[in-house]
Amino acid sequence: MQQHTILLVTIIIMACVALPFLFAASAAKDKGPQVGWLGYGAQRSLVAAMLVVGVAVTGISLAVWPHSVSAGPARQVVNVTGHQWYWEIEDVRLVTGSPVVFNVHTEDVNHGLGVYDADFRLIVQIQAMPGYLNQVQYTFEKPGKYRILCMEFCGVAHHDMTSEFTVSAAKS
């Protein structure tokens, strides 16, 4: 019922947005090609410049991904499996200061592993996919409780797919 209401509201809003465009398009139909003060040459240069900037920004900002998983002896490994609708987290004592590798897997459909800190800030996330073992690495700096939420809609009880684990302070 709620989904139908949302769909109806969406269609009405889309129609409201589309109407001015349709009006403008029909009003401009009889006037032939309009060249703005920039002219076609300048427009082409502008589009080319935007393309170059867009590709550069995308390339530079994505270059750091994917983060590789380190192979040092100091790392901690925890296996996490997603199920409809709960997380199965291997009972491992995790400590601060050395990398934790999450081996993430699912027994049924796609899930999204999202790890949140005490302030409910998302600090690490990765997809759980059938037939794949996905890895993500994170070094916890603060001891305490961390929460796990599912970040991929996976069915009626998706919102119940929460869990938590504790990270202890490393002995120095």
Which residues in this chain contact Cu ion in the complex, by CB under 5 A?
150, 154, 158, 161
Task: Report the nearest approach of Cu ion to the CB of residue 124 (Å).
Answer: 17
C-beta of 104 vs 154, nearer to Cu ion: 154
C-beta of 124 vs 150, nearer to Cu ion: 150
Give the Cα separation of 69 and 99 in Å (integer).
9
C-beta of 13 vs 157, nearer to Cu ion: 157
DSSP helix/strand/coil, 121: coil
Task: Report the nearest approach of Cu ion to the CB of residue 158 (Å).
Answer: 4
C-beta of 72 vs 131, nearer to Cu ion: 131
Task: Report the nearest approach of Cu ion to the CB of residue 117 (Å).
Answer: 20
**What long-range pairs does 5-8 form, CB within 8 A, spacing at least 24?**
none
- Tokens representing 149 are 């939420």
Nearest by Cα to 116 from 69, 66, 150, 79: 150
Nearest by Cα to 153 from 120, 95, 114: 114
Task: Report the nearest approach of Cu ion to the CB of residue 87 (Å).
Answer: 10
Omega before 65 cis (within 30°)? no
Nearest by Cα to 90 from 163, 143, 6: 163
C-beta of 40 vs 153, nearer to Cu ion: 153
Task: Report the nearest approach of Cu ion to the CB of residue 161 (Å).
Answer: 5
